[in-house]
Amino acid sequence: MTSAVNPASSQMSEAEYADQLKRATLASSLGSALEYFDFALYGLCTALIFNTLFFPQDNPAMATVASFATFGVGFIARPFGGLIFGRLGDKIGRKWVLVVTIILMGGSSTAIGFLPTYESVGMAAPIMLVIARLLQGFGAGAEQTGSSVLMAEYAPVKQRGFFAALPYIGIQAGSLMASVAFFLLTLMPEQQLMAWGWRIPFLASFLLILLALFIRMHLRESPTFVELKAADQVSEHPLRELFTSGTPGVVAAFGMRMAENGGSYMLQTLSMSYFVAVVGSTADKGILSWGVALGALIGLFTVPFSGALSDKYGRRAVYRFGSVFLLVFAFPAWWLLSLGNHFIAVAVVALGVGFGVNFMLGPQCAMFPELFGARHRYLGVAMARELSAVVAGGLAGVLGSYIIAVSNANWVLMAVYMTVLAAITTLSTFMVPETAGRDLTRLDDAVKISQHERSSASDPVVVPEAIATPLASVA
């Protein structure tokens, strides 16, 4: 493990750094809240509202599959957004890319609230839904990456796991708001819900956009990027560098996302479709949103806690705990869901999300930025996160809903699916070195460095004389 200090000391005083750290935390958290509010809300609406309003009802089961396909389209767009904005983040800076992505992502989500339905405009309705979802995914493809990179580069080194995890409280807050909003919507009379009620939370997301945009406009650039620019080390071709040296890091992070991202969407979204299929009625369709809400509430504590644990015990050990939890949890969880009991189902979703998923999410916040060198970090994290999201999260919706439709909601097949995802992630944790405390001004990638090199190469690569005196509060 290399020792390092935060480079912020070379740009600002201790008081200024503390203020900017707070701003960065708030700016990142609001962006995460907006992203996951919109995505969780879209996922909840996919199985129970969009399938009815935006698709023909000749075959309701296939309408649900088609609805989940639009959910998956957002994931397909995310790697392209990550590629474009990731390159820009490494070339022009983290801050301005985050300003653009919050506008694009939030604006697209708000637009969904204005869309006409299939009954009004026919096939134009799902087409417009797909376009809005593509734009939403395109912006989201770099939003969460930018937040995690920004916070990792701002955070005190010895507490990077904890501080980098704080914006991910926004993920829990966003998921919590979405599940509560959706549950409240289901209390409305069916006719009003389908006529106009479902539009309210999408339109309300515009308020989060304005607040996040205001804070980000008053945030300074990442200290690490400032160091890169001052040393004339900003990459002109981050994509070329990533393919040259960063591919092992992308592959390893890709594998580690299978259980975290795929398991999250299986529990938060697919479980609802599965439960409706089991009980044979949509009368209690909002019940599992309480499981999602409780899981997010637990995550408000487990995400920063697991991030802090990764500072003490290492990123890999804590991450592996979360993946093994889901590995052991998969078969009992889906069997319990198959019983059709409301209270048991809520507990299953809450435990799986709150502990299994979130114990991976906490250390991931710092670990993924630590895997990549400073010159292509934004792009590396973006590609790792978003390419994996297509397979883990996007495919989970389509393939999972198809399995439910053709297997008469066979719980064993769903359990096998989650077990495979968790096994891939568990094995992937053995592919990476321990990254806790790594100097983020280094230009090399962590995965390709031997243990001997990591132990001996403790000096920062970028202008070491500028960061030789650590900030008192960070050292």
Q: What is the DSSP string of 71-135?
A: HHHHHHHHHHHHHHHHHHHHHT-HHHHHHHHHHHHHHHHHHHTT---HHHHTTHHHHHHHHHHHH
Mean pLDDT of 98-105: 85
CA distance 453 to 316: 19
CA distance 21 to 18: 5
pLDDT band at residue 445 using 50, 70 and 90 as cut-offs: very high
CA distance 333 to 338: 9
- Per-residue model confidence (pLDDT) at position 282: 55
Q: Which residue has the tokens 């939003």?
A: 143
Half-sphere exposure of 261 (CA within 13 A, CB side): 27
- Determine which helix (DSSP H) or strand (DSSP E) holds 454, and give its type and residue range: helix 451-456
| Range in 58-72, 169-183, 374-388, 430-444 with the lowest mean pLDDT | 58-72
Mean pLDDT of 8-34: 75
* Whether residue 475 has pLDDT greater than 60: no
Are the C-beta atoms of 179 and 264 separated by less than 8 Å?
no
Are the C-beta atoms of 378 and 145 separated by less than 8 Å?
yes
Are the C-beta atoms of 296 and 355 separated by less than 8 Å?
no
- Per-residue model confidence (pLDDT) at position 260: 94
How many of the other CB atoms lie within 10 Å of CB of 101?
27
* Whether residue 144 has pLDDT greater than 50: yes
389-402 tens-digit pLDDT: 888 877 877 788 88
Q: Of 8, 33, 360, 16, give the one whose Cα is nearest residue 178.
A: 33
**C-alpha distance from residue 308 to each of 22, 163, 366, 381, 426 (Å):** 18, 8, 10, 21, 20
Question: What is the amino acid identity at position 291?
Answer: G
CA distance 34 to 74: 15
Residues in CB range of 314: below 8 A, 6 or more apart: 434, 436
Report H helices in 113-198. 118-121, 124-154, 160-165, 169-186, 190-192
pLDDT band at residue 32 using 50, 70 and 90 as cut-offs: confident
Question: What is the amino acid identity at position 335?
Answer: W
pLDDT band at residue 452 using 50, 70 and 90 as cut-offs: very low
* Whether residue 308 has pLDDT greater than 90: yes
Are the C-beta atoms of 395 and 72 separated by less than 8 Å?
yes
CA distance 352 to 176: 15
CATH number of 13-448: 1.20.1250.20
Mean pLDDT of 304-321: 96
Q: Of 263, 235, 360, give the one whose Cα is nearest residue 310.
A: 360
Mean pLDDT of 53-70: 75
CA distance 340 to 112: 32
- Per-residue model confidence (pLDDT) at position 28: 82
* Whether residue 160 has pLDDT greater than 90: yes
| Range in 7-21, 120-134, 146-160, 282-296 with the lowest mean pLDDT | 7-21
- Per-residue model confidence (pLDDT) at position 284: 57
pLDDT band at residue 258 using 50, 70 and 90 as cut-offs: very high
pLDDT: is 201 or 438 the higher one? Answer: 438
- Per-residue model confidence (pLDDT) at position 30: 80
CA distance 333 to 442: 43
Residue 265 backbone class (left: φ over 0; alpha: ψ -120 to 50; beta: rest) = alpha
Q: Which residue has the tokens 């189902």?
A: 345
- Per-residue model confidence (pLDDT) at position 394: 74
Question: What is the amino acid identity at position 334?
Answer: W
* Whether residue 294 has pLDDT greater than 50: yes
* Whether residue 228 has pLDDT greater than 90: no
55 is written with which tokens? Answer: 């698709």
* Whether residue 277 has pLDDT greater than 60: yes
pLDDT: is 103 or 426 the higher one? Answer: 426
Burial class (CB in 10 A: 0-12, 13-18, 19+), 200: middle
- Per-residue model confidence (pLDDT) at position 450: 40
| Range in 2-6, 188-192, 384-388 with the lowest mean pLDDT | 2-6
User: Average pLDDT, whole number, for the chain?
Assistant: 82
* Whether residue 413 has pLDDT greater than 90: yes
Burial class (CB in 10 A: 0-12, 13-18, 19+), 63: buried
CA distance 62 to 398: 11
